[in-house]
A = this chain, B = another copy of it.
Amino acid sequence: MIWKIGSSFAIFMNNMYTVSDLQSLISIEIDKEIYQLYHTEPKNLYEPVGYALSMGGKRLRPVMVLMACNLFSETVEKAFPVALAIELFHNFTLLHDDIMDGAEMRRNNLSVYKKYNENIAILSGDAMSIMAYNYLLKCNSTEPAQIIRLFSETALEVCEGQQLDMDFEARLDVSIPEYLTMIRLKTAVLLASSLKLGAMAANAPEKIADQLYDFGLNLGIAFQLQDDLLDVFANQNKFGKKIGGDIVSNKKTFLLLKTLEIADDSTKMFIHDWINKTSFDESEKILAITEVYNKLDIRKITEAYIEEFYQTALNVFEEIEVSTDTKGVLLQLANLIMSRDH
């Protein structure tokens, strides 16, 4: 069994895949690629690429590509090259980010630079970025250059977002609009483009492809804000990472920046003191900062922002003119993203 045939009656087709169908489909394709990569020379270039791909969780982005394609076509296979390109690119950014952040672990495995070495990680990442384009070129779209253009513009935006994120490390005066620009570039545009590129691979009407982009963009921002929130307020049992990691590392999250925006001077000083400490008890720091967040109602403020972007996404969703049944899967996706089951 690979997938079930949906029972809904869509306008464009009667074969609508569920999220988990698409996850199964793309996982098989990715596994084939990983197998190939482990058998391609030079081994020190391609095996790390296979290793990086093998660590990838729920394949959210390629699933979005296939889902958007499926809104317009029964044969989601035509979007496989685009889905693989997006997954390769996403994992490339993680690979290089791990070097830059000195992150030794990724999803309970050694990160690539730690398992191999830094030079191999730099070069394998470079190869992944190039290979993403090679996958795109396999796409039988009527306008391949259009697909490559959107992908490439998005890829560059992701780099811009990563640079802004690094720039913010040295700053305490990052405004909320600046922060939203950063997460739009670093996180949201790739989710947005995943949907749009999937639609383009199925030669979808431009208007709907653009709406899917907007839907994904707002969902992506809501997703990242929620990621910030969960770092502090998640249920530790359900949360994959350690609670409070962002607080310990002074990460400029929405929560911290909003706090610095609205806090009185003595509270700001209190936060600055904690940020400047080089030696401290981690639990004590997490507790201290969380108490400030609680005092200032930062959780509710953040939730209101999340809700705003989520609602904007849903409003765009309402306007998308594909059949109601078809749209059900898109909503399933939105739920998947916002419940962080990825």
Contacts and interface: CB of A to CB of B under 8 A. Distances in A.
A100 B126 contact: no
Interface stretch (A76-84, A143-151, A308-316): A143-151
B100 A119 contact: yes
Interface in A149-179: 149, 152-153, 155-156, 159-160, 162-164, 166-167
Given A152-B133, A164-B42, A159 B127 contact: yes
A103 interface: no
B122 A45 contact: no
Contact of A130 (B42, B152, B167): B152
Contacts of A96: 122-123, 126
Interface in A94-137: 96, 99-100, 119-120, 122-123, 125-127, 129-131, 133-134, 137
Given A42-B167, A123-B163, A130 B149 contact: no
Contacts of A130: 129, 152, 155-156, 159
A120 B100 CA distance: 9
A44 interface: yes
- Interface size on A, as a range, is 35 or more
**Main SS class of interface, A:** helix
Contacts of A166: 44, 119-120, 123
B162 A123 contact: yes
A299 to B, nearest CB: 30
A222 B246 CA distance: 54
Contacts of A162: 123
27 contacts: A42-B163, A42-B167, A44-B163, A45-B159, A96-B122, A96-B123, A100-B119, A100-B122, A100-B123, A119-B166, A120-B163, A122-B122, A123-B163, A126-B159, A127-B156, A127-B159, A127-B160, A130-B152, A130-B159, A134-B149, A134-B153, A137-B148, A137-B149, A144-B144, A144-B145, A145-B145, A145-B148
Interface of A: 41-42, 44-45, 96, 99-100, 119-120, 122-123, 125-127, 129-131, 133-134, 137, 144-145, 148-149, 152-153, 155-156, 159-160, 162-164, 166-167
